[in-house]
Amino acid sequence: MLLPSIASFFLILVVRTCSSLDTITPYQNITDGETIVSENQKFELGFFSQGTSKNRYLGIWFKNTLPYPKVLWVANRETPLTNTSGIAIFDRRGILSIFNGRGTLIWSSNSSTSVTNVSPVAQLLDTGNLVIHKEGNTIWQTFDYPGDTFISGMKLGKNLITGREIYLTSWRSVDDPSPGEYTTGYLMVKGKYQQAYVRNNSVIKTRIGPYNGIEFAGQPNYKPNPVYSYKFDMIVNEKEMFFTYAFNSTTFLSTFIANPVGKLEILHLNLHNRIWMRDHTLSLDNCDNYGYCGPYGSCSSVTYPNCGCLKGFELKNPEQLSPENWTSGCRRSRALDCGPGEGFLKFSSMKLPDTQNAEFDDNMSLQECEVACNNNCSCIAYANPNIAPGGVGCLLWFGDLIDVQVYPLNEQDLYVRLAASELLGRVLKVAIKDHKSSNKKGSIELPLFSLPTISRATNNFSMHNKLGEGGFGPVYKGVLEEGQEIAVKRLSKSSRQGLDEFENEAICIAKLQHRNLVSLLGYCIQGDERMLIYEYMPNKILDQFIFDDLRKSSLDWPCRFHIVQGIAQGLLYLHQDSRLRVVHRDLKAGNILLDCDMNPKISDFGLARMFKEHESEANTKRVVGTLGYISPEYAVNGLFSVKSDIFSFGVLVLEIAWRLYKEGKSLNLIDASLGKSWSVSEVLRSIHVSLLCVQQRAEDRPNTRSVVRMLGGEGPLPSPKQPGFFIQGSEDNSNTKSSLPSSLNEVTISVIHGR
């Protein structure tokens, strides 16, 4: 609200006060120029004019405040007096009336009581409320008929007996207190959940809330001053539903004001210097505009454009999209069919959607709420709106989700129903570039396994069935009822890798089919459980052979060379021959599985990245992988490409030994456990190729096809240059201990495992 000067804002001349400071008795009239004052001297009642207007109104205002004496309540908002000849009369029936100079009634409180020997009294209380009461019973009060201002002790809501709603109505302008275009009220309907709206006539402009058990959500930037506190309360019973608040401060008064331009302001009055301060204003930005991002759209004030689709949804009319126009919103990427596997995706730190199309039960726990929504195919989403300690309650949505907003510091979670496939995050519908045709969307169907099926197959995830554990979580051996052996990779709730890696692995492996890549058989999603189902590898992982003194002797040279060539063939498929160009980013012995015939299978695609046809490298600020296998350009600059995998391949095959190569002692690398099974030419060639793969500069490393050819004995072998991360020795006459860079560009290793 604009701040006119005090001289032009308020034109009251006090001639005399009524016989009692704060009380009017029957037949005590208030003429223009007379006032009554509350006992605490904070509020005053009388006639006033506003700003440059000559119209006169009977009202209540905050006494002696700067820069203007804010009006709390106006009686004759719609029927102003045109001069100072008006008079307010309080009669014996308990009715307060305003007459103009000609004796015409222009406003009445419409309060009435039977005439007895006890007369009613009108009293201006210390709260700012003008109350007409008789024998201790309230007949009428101004707090039941608010104007544009809401203060402590008032209530906004609905009388369920009479149907009358109590809400704020803005002034027409700063000089005109007649009802304006904007109202601020609360959704108060039985079975519905409480929230507030600012409306422009009948159109919702801003939604405040819903109520979260402590306060109305929707004000993420509002941080109350620590010297005072609010206590909000929601009262719901058979007679009425209303919202009220208490303001605990001896230094300030608090007001909420619906101003003439459609904003809700929070003002504070400093009681020591009587100065008004604006504390907060709503709306602040685009995200406060109701439904700004349309159905299933999510608004964030910290991004541009502000709008995006909730996960599992896509733009409804992308051709009509502009950063400032998302009103058409989003639609589901995959339709619901109420079949098995449908579930709920959790969205955290949210302003919950509009509750007009939601139902509320205040006795249900979050778990019961999920069951109720899951059992009703029409239920779109659910949430517990009550964040108060021990707060329970269940909101179930049965229509489009409107006016969703992301709040970084908000504590409310929203669970949205998605098709089984969408819970994998685009596994069944991934935008890819098909090398054989123009741009298309590919899709792939993955079998869905139920949780009881997987639980039975793994003996309820018995420790005896556990094969191992990685960053993703534990892996269990299982046997399906038809006898097929499986490996179940179960996402751990404490995993450093989360849903993104889960989705990434499913997307990559579901799209790729090669004899040297592990096969994904299906998935299981239920509640918080996320599992990937793979073919079982009887010989487990390569890591357990080459680094185990007892088992490494079982790998003779032909077997090892076969494994090396198989890994190279798998990489060739990933890098060049598949319709997706994939960089694995975590190639190591621990991610190579061995089947019953010791055929290698590259696994664990949680960190993999897919490249478009024209892309050759990418950059990231989050370096992931296993320390020792990460290429120099990736560790230092965040650059990764197929050459990053080539480096890891070289490390995997060789476990670097540059000094022996320079001294012509490469055969000293041969493990004694190999006996006489090895071929000198194959060993020397493998070592040489490995050293070519781990060269410092990415451009010096061979591509995958060249690696495969050189291992097969085709073509000459160029001389390798110094490998990356080579640890120099004393013979180099250098005090440098290592060429390992140390976060030169503040890039860090996000996922580190020792080799």
Pairing of strands 592-594, 520-526: unpaired
- Integer Cα distance of 182 and 196 in angstroms: 13
Q: Is 407 left (phi over 0), alpha (psi -120 to 50) or beta?
A: beta
Where b means 16+ CB within 10 Å and e means fewer, 279-306 reads bbbbbeebbbbbbbbbbbbbbbbeeeeb
The Cα angle at residue 473 between residues 467 and 477, in degrees rounded to 5: 25
Assign residue 218 a region (left: φ > 0; alpha: ψ between -120 and 50; beta: otherwise): left
Q: What is the rounded distance in angstroms from the CA atom of residue 563 to the CA atom of residue 599?
A: 6
**Which residues contact residue 459 at a Cβ distance below 8 angstroms, ignoring those fewer than 6 apart?**
465
Q: What angle do CA 62, 67, 71 make, to 5 degrees?
A: 30
**Alpha carbons 628 and 620: distance in angstroms, whole number:** 18
Q: Which two tokens stand for residue 3?
A: 């701040």
The span from the CA of 481 to the CA of 727, in Å, is 53
Residue partners of 565: CB distance under 8 A and separation at least 6: 708, 711, 712
CA neighbor of 194 nearest in space, from 56, 362, 65: 362
CA distances from 105 to 45, 97, 644, 655 (A): 19, 7, 89, 100
For residue 198, which of 284, 91, 135 has the smallest C-alpha distance?
284
The residues, ordered by sequence, that sit 6+ positions from 482 with a Cβ below 8 Å of its Cβ are none
Distance from C-alpha of 444 to C-alpha of 431, rounded to nearest angstrom: 12
Cβ-based neighbours of 188, under 8 Å, separated by 6 or more: 157, 158, 165, 194, 241, 242
Active-site position among 148, 354, 403, 586: 586
Residue 586 falls in the annotated catalytic set:
yes
Closest CA to 49 of 76, 7, 89, 12: 12
**Residues with catalytic annotation?**
586
